[in-house]
Structure 1
Amino acid sequence: MRSESGLFKGLNPTVTIASKVLVIGFVIFCAVLAEQAGAIFQDVSTVVLDNAKWFYLAVVSGVLAFLLYLMVSRFGHVRLGKDDEAPEFGFLSWISMLFSGGMGIGLIFWSVAEPMFHYADNPFTQGMSEEAAAMAMRLTFFHWGLHPWAVFVIVALALAYFSYRKGLPLTLRSILYPFIGERIYGPIGHAVDILTVAITAFGVSQSLGLGVIQMNSGLNSVFGLEIGMGVQLVMIALIMFFAIASVMSGVGRGIRRLSEWNMLLSLVIVAVVLAIGPTRYILNTLLQSTGDYVDNLIAMSLWSDAHADSGWQNWWTAFYWPWWMTWAPFVGMFIARISRGRTIRELVGGALIVPTLVTLIWMSVFGGSALHEELQASQAYQQAVASDELSADSEFAGGAVLQATQADTTSALFTLFESLDPGLLGSVLSVLASLLLATYFITSADSGTLVLCILDSVGNPEPPQSIRVVWGVVIGAIAGALLYAGGLETIQTASIIAGLPIAVFLLIMTVGLYRTLRREPMAAAMLPPQVRPAAEELDQASGRPEYAAPRSSSSVTTVGGEVA
């Protein structure tokens, strides 16, 4: 399966060639026929959301419940590796990397914009009211909290378990082993990895393209840098140059150090905004909104707008869930790559609970500051009307942050900084945010590139350097081509459709993981003696005969000393 010599040495030629042909062909289609492709994908995605919304909601909520169960169950003690194996990375480095590779970019982009949209309009409260402000934070917490991380973690957990515990390749094909056995090394396994490569390449490229637009907006607001295609293409080239350099240096050096820098700079920006912003309001918002989120978690998870069927949920929740699913293969595999040696309880707790808490703090600081600005603007308008400075018939269109968000979401964060401090400090914050965007994009690009390389090399956690360069160049080229041809929105719409088969795959991996865990010796040994499997059954499970290596030496890959 993996070539031992020639041009594709260390790689799976089938996956390497077929995935690039698929990706490049689809990109050309979306770039050349962006308008027609967009119309087709929009129609199909509308049909999918209208008819499968309930399925998306049920799958994501079910996965979250399953992970929380695993964390507190006897399976939580199972180590993702050998029983005495220590974690590869320290806790802080691990958290920094999984957060940077997960949704660091999105939090910067939407931390102000999403609360503003919900504040202006949501199906539960009157827009631009105090009730709408509270609802805006609840909905934002919901969309960026436990549920998206659950989608990432289930993939990470299944991959890490089957790879590090069972000795199978670190690729999505291994998740099918409980169902099809050694056939994962054949056409079915190739097809799974090829589709995973395609989805990952599209997701990283689109994120890179959309991100440079926001960076361009931030630099324009501070330095007056022209907003244009040429500037954005140069940004893509620079980001991918540093991403390639980082991914070539390996996870332990480049990606880890950049991730730690991301967290440090994020803390600095949060601390400054907390200090110069409405501190008391932010802290109260964090406390109240967290309680509101936890109190309504189950109801929000299962709410499907069945009676009104207003379409709002298709624009938000039912759009987000398949969107997160298309990111799950990439983010999940990266989290698995850096989680060797941790227990199931550590992985679920660290990659589900901790990032959610960080997200709630981040959203409260930036979203809370923006809401405070808007509530102040609303009060000023009402006072002006009461004092006859404005006509009672005049229409209030919102404050500066809301208007900027509705005009261009990429400018929302930078408008907030200007509102908090129109002078030097606001400009400094905009510069730091642009720098943070760049470093988050670099870590997302290099972690995405690493995942693509691992898939091409049949799960080798340290793939050949040559393929790292190739994928880095391809990712940058795809992002630039889509940006130039206007195909970014087309890819985004297509991702919603891709979420449907991924949702089915999530169910399959959940069932396969649970079935295998029930035969796990370490978990079985924790049962009461009267229900514990017989000693010979434990011995048989410990020998793991069902996870024997493939017979052909050309199809094996070494993962941490085990043959897979």
Structure 2
Amino acid sequence: MEKVSKVFWISLVLASIFVVWGVVAPTQLGEMMDATKAYFLSSFGWFYQLSATFFLIFAIFLIFSKYGKIKLGADDDKPEFKRSTWFAMLFSAGMGIGLLFFGVSEPVSHFASPPIGEGGTGEAAKTALRYTYLHWGFHAWAIYAVIALVLAYYKFRKKQPGLMSVTLTPLLGERSKGWIGTIIDVVAVFATIFGVAASLGLGAAQINSGLSYISGIPNNFTVQLIIISVVTLLFIISASTGVQKGIKYLSNANMVLAVLLLLIFLIIGPTRFVLDLFTTTLGGYIQNLPSMGLRLAPFNENDASWIQGWTIFYWAWWIAWAPFVGTFIARVSKGRTVREFMVAVLVIPTLVCAFWFAVFGGTGIYFEFFEGLNVSEQSLETVLFFVYKQLPFTGLLIIVTLMLITTFFVTSADSATFVLGMQTTKGSLNPPQYVKVIWGLFLSASAIVLMMSGGLNAMQTAIIVSAFPLTFVLIAMSFSILKDFNKEMKVVKGKQVKNK
């Protein structure tokens, strides 16, 4: 018990209040969340846009800066995991379920209702993929990369506890250890809970849809509740084995299944069309990145609504996930240099995500544009299985997908219980088992409450609101590490002058 911090108890009380409120008055909670979501989206869209752009610019700056050779650890530290395993772990924790849930649904949705111009056209198809790349590409991974870098630097090079508050010591001094630091860590815990809970809700909905397609199991809240309960048990068991075993093996399994599914889908689908579409839209994405990443629509209410519902929501989601994903990536990145770390975390996952959406989304668009099928009219959670029906080996695709969703589900929740445990036990790299079990149960309970009180809308609200105060913390962390990097470079320069 001595390892548990004040952050644990404060977070536990607040999380309990939220869960009880959702169980007792889900409708009231849902209405309150809808009003809150509308306010934040309309009032602070500009803030989220500028913040996401800041992280991308900062990440690029670090790659080309003089700080690139600084190691995340002692100068003689070697990486704990080989590169392929390291990449698999950061990728499966970072995107996971979302790639399957939105793989077809997002590009097809943008194709039917694009952010600019008329829907259903060839130009709309290219725009759809460019904006999907925007949402899952450089901006998202820049947020993760910057936060993970800061946490890894202070944990492994400065030998500090792996807490968000500790990273602000260069700016706040001793106040980072007082009540201000406690508030910062509680904000990080809540952003993690809501960010991950939303993904668990999406995963449960999609597993239910796949089972419904295969066996006719009803697609409803009761079945999704059972799915969450079963997976909760699985990820608590997995979490008990630790990073070296459970998460490592699951991450590698995720990567194998994901690559298998991607290759099968590419080969049996409209291969040449997809590859042509990927090439042209990737170029368009890079060319239009600045304008898309800062686009708002002050003169057009419909366009503004689209940007708020998609782009702003995504920036908030990635920011809400940043403490969780950042802590986890930091945990497995000891021994990497700043430059190696930033390039790997920023560039490789962006290209993989872009190719994934080109294959899955491009195939969905092909069937609607050339075959006249109503792909875009399917629900978000069922559209992937609708596309599978148009391809050979439908049963195999569905089975592999359900296995992949389940392993992604377990890995994300597994990683999150470790991170929440770490955040609430003063940065311990081996949080007590009971702490991880408690947070595992609260993650699942929060996902259930969000589903009861408004489904995807409620999840979006929780993410957007929890990300708002956290954004200020993450920006401050960026300036904090810059301050310490400059100190370190002065010491190195001083030693070089002395040696001469």
Which stretch shows the higher mean deviation, 72-81 or 116-125?
116-125
Contact residue 30 and residue 453 of structure 2 kept, 8 A? no
CA distance in 2, matches of 1:111, 1:58: 26
> In the alignment, residue 420 of structure 1 is paired with which amino acid?
L
Task: State whether structure 2 residue 392 is matched by structure 1 residue 376.
Answer: no
Aligned partner (choices 468, 471, 475) of residue 503 of structure 1: 471
Contact residue 60 and residue 151 of structure 1 kept, 8 A? yes
Aligned partner (choices 462, 473, 490) of residue 494 of structure 1: 462
Q: Aligned to 2:217, what secondary structure does the other structure show? A: coil
Unaligned runs of 5+ in 2: none
Correspondence 1:74-473 to 2 at 5 A: 74-309=66-301, 310-311=303-304, 312-378=306-372, 399-404=373-378, 408-421=379-392, 425-473=393-441
Task: State whether structure 2 residue 55 is matched by structure 1 residue 63.
Answer: yes
Q: Aligned to 2:105, what secondary structure does the other structure show? A: helix
CA distance in 1, matches of 2:338, 2:248: 22
CA shift for structure 1 position 458: 0.8
Contact residue 454 and residue 461 of structure 1 kept, 8 A? yes
Q: Aligned to 1:367, what secondary structure does the other structure show? A: helix
Q: Deviations over 1:117-147 (max 9, x none)?
A: 1111123221101111111111111111111
Are residues 537 and 476 of structure 1, via their aligned partners in 2, closer, same or farther at CA, if it must alter by over 3 Å?
farther
CA distance in 1, matches of 2:445, 2:54: 38
> In the alignment, residue 91 of structure 2 is paired with which amino acid?
F
CA distance in 2, matches of 1:142, 1:74: 28
Q: Percent identity?
A: 38
Instruction: Compute the TM-score of the two structures, normalised by the length of structure 2.
Output: 0.95
Are residues 334 and 74 of structure 1, via their aligned partners in 2, closer, same or farther at CA, if it must alter by over 3 Å?
same
CA shift for structure 1 position 535: 6.3
Are residues 466 and 536 of structure 1, via their aligned partners in 2, closer, same or farther at CA, if it must alter by over 3 Å?
farther
Contact residue 231 and residue 410 of structure 2 kept, 8 A? yes
Q: Deviations over 1:434-460 (max 9, x none)?
A: 111010000000000000110121111
Contact residue 125 and residue 135 of structure 1 kept, 8 A? no
Task: State whether structure 2 residue 486 is matched by structure 1 residue 518.
Answer: yes
Contact residue 191 and residue 467 of structure 2 kept, 8 A? no
CA distance in 1, matches of 2:40, 2:439: 31
CA distance in 1, matches of 2:143, 2:233: 30
CA distance in 1, matches of 2:315, 2:456: 19
CA shift for structure 1 position 181: 2.0
> In the alignment, residue 316 of structure 2 is paired with which amino acid?
P
> In the alignment, residue 210 of structure 1 is paired with which amino acid?
L
CA distance in 2, matches of 1:105, 1:460: 27
Aligned partner (choices 9, 12, 35) of residue 2 of structure 2: 9
Are residues 39 and 74 of structure 1, via their aligned partners in 2, closer, same or farther at CA, if it must alter by over 3 Å?
same
CA distance in 2, matches of 1:189, 1:102: 26
Contact residue 53 and residue 318 of structure 1 kept, 8 A? yes
CA shift for structure 1 position 77: 0.7
> In the alignment, residue 297 of structure 1 is paired with which amino acid?
L
CA distance in 2, matches of 1:278, 1:537: 64
Q: Aligned to 1:410, what secondary structure does the other structure show? A: coil
Are residues 483 and 490 of structure 1, via their aligned partners in 2, closer, same or farther at CA, if it must alter by over 3 Å?
closer
> In the alignment, residue 9 of structure 1 is paired with which amino acid?
E
Corresponding residue for residue 529 of structure 1: none
CA shift for structure 1 position 46: 2.3
Corresponding residue for residue 561 of structure 1: none
Q: Deviations over 1:94-123 (max 9, x none)?
A: 111111111111111001111111111123
CA distance in 2, matches of 1:537, 1:214: 62
Instruction: Compute the TM-score of the two structures, normalised by the length of structure 1.
Output: 0.84
Contact residue 157 and residue 336 of structure 1 kept, 8 A? yes
Which stretch shows the higher mean deviation, 186-195 or 76-85?
186-195
Q: Aligned to 2:41, what secondary structure does the other structure show? A: helix
> In the alignment, residue 207 of structure 1 is paired with which amino acid?
S
> In the alignment, residue 514 of structure 1 is paired with which amino acid?
L
Which stretch shows the higher mean deviation, 305-314 or 79-88?
305-314
CA shift for structure 1 position 314: 1.2
Corresponding residue for residue 546 of structure 1: none
CA shift for structure 1 position 400: 3.2
Contact residue 30 and residue 487 of structure 1 kept, 8 A? no
Are residues 317 and 229 of structure 1, via their aligned partners in 2, closer, same or farther at CA, if it must alter by over 3 Å?
closer
Task: State whether structure 2 residue 17 is matched by structure 1 residue 44.
Answer: no
Correspondence 1:20-35 to 2 at 5 A: 20-35=12-27
Contact residue 50 and residue 314 of structure 1 kept, 8 A? yes
CA distance in 1, matches of 2:441, 2:34: 29
How many aligned positions are there? 497
Q: Deviations over 1:13-39 (max 9, x none)?
A: x12211111111022223433333333
Are residues 178 and 228 of structure 1, via their aligned partners in 2, closer, same or farther at CA, if it must alter by over 3 Å?
same
Contact residue 31 and residue 482 of structure 1 kept, 8 A? no
Contact residue 149 and residue 351 of structure 1 kept, 8 A? yes
> In the alignment, residue 157 of structure 1 is paired with which amino acid?
L
Contact residue 30 and residue 491 of structure 1 kept, 8 A? no
Query: Structure 1: which 4+ aligned runs deviate by more than 4 Å?
Result: 484-488, 532-538
Q: Deviations over 1:303-345 (max 9, x none)?
A: 2223435322112112221122111111111111111111111
Contact residue 88 and residue 251 of structure 2 kept, 8 A? yes
Unaligned runs of 5+ in 1: 1-7, 379-398, 526-531, 539-564
Are residues 145 and 524 of structure 1, via their aligned partners in 2, closer, same or farther at CA, if it must alter by over 3 Å?
farther
Contact residue 165 and residue 184 of structure 2 kept, 8 A? yes
Q: Aligned to 2:160, what secondary structure does the other structure show? A: coil
Q: Aligned to 1:520, what secondary structure does the other structure show? A: helix
CA shift for structure 1 position 150: 1.1
Are residues 306 and 273 of structure 1, via their aligned partners in 2, closer, same or farther at CA, if it must alter by over 3 Å?
same
CA distance in 1, matches of 2:454, 2:123: 38
CA distance in 1, matches of 2:455, 2:130: 32
